[in-house]
C-alpha cells in the first residue's frame, strides 16, 4: 500500500540552512580580513624596504604603514597603505619630480597578483 503522504521531507530545515549560509558568509569575511591584514603587512614591509629616497631623518620611511579594516555590516574590507599623518611631505614624495620618489601605488600594484592568488584560495 503506497503512502498517501507526499511532499518534501527536510532533513535539515530551511531556517537552519539559511543560518548556515549566513555563518559561512561570516567565515568568508573573517578569512578576507586575515588575508587583507597579511597583504597590508607585506605591502608595508615592501614599501619601507623599497622606498627610493635617501633617508635624512628616517621618519618618512618608518612612517609608511599598511593596515586593513573590515566593515562587517557593509561586507567591505579595505586595505590601506599610506604615509604617516605627521609626514606632511608625503604628497610631494608621491607626485613631485614625475613620481620618481613615489612608492605607494607601485607597492600596491606589485602586490595585486599575490592578493588575487590568496583570494582565489579562499573562494576556490
- For other proteins, the binding residues (CB under 8 A) are 92, 95-100, 102, 105-106, 109-110, 112-113
Contact 65, 85 (CB under 8 A): no
Nearer residue to other proteins within complex by CB, 74 or 97? 97
Nearer residue to other proteins within complex by CB, 18 or 105? 105
Non-local CB neighbours of 47 within 8 Å, separated by 6+ positions = 64, 66, 81, 103, 104, 107
Whole-number Å distance between alpha carbons of 94 and 91? 5
Nearer residue to other proteins within complex by CB, 29 or 106? 106
Q: At closest approach, how far in Å is the CB of 72 from other proteins?
A: 27
Helical H segments across 51-103, by residue range: 59-63, 90-95
Q: At closest approach, how far in Å is the CB of 78 from other proteins?
A: 16
Q: At closest approach, how far in Å is the CB of 109 from other proteins?
A: 4
Amino acid at each position: 500500500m503506497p503512502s498517501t503522504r507526499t511532499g518534501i521531507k527536510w532533513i535539515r530545515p530551511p531556517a537552519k540552512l539559511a543560518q548556515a549560509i549566513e555563518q559561512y558568509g561570516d567565515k568568508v569575511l573573517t578569512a578576507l580580513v586575515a588575508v587583507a591584514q597579511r597583504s597590508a603587512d607585506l605591502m608595508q614591509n615592501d614599501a619601507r624596504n623599497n622606498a627610493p629616497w635617501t633617508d635624512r631623518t628616517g621618519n618618512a620611511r618608518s612612517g609608511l604603514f599598511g593596515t586593513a579594516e573590515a566593515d562587517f555590516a557593509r561586507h567591505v574590507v579595505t586595505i590601506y597603505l599610506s604615509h604617516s599623518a605627521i609626514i606632511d611631505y608625503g604628497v610631494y614624495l608621491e607626485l613631485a619630480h614625475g613620481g620618481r620618489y613615489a612608492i605607494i601605488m607601485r607597492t600596491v600594484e606589485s602586490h595585486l597578483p599575490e592578493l588575487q592568488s590568496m583570494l582565489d584560495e579562499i573562494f576556490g
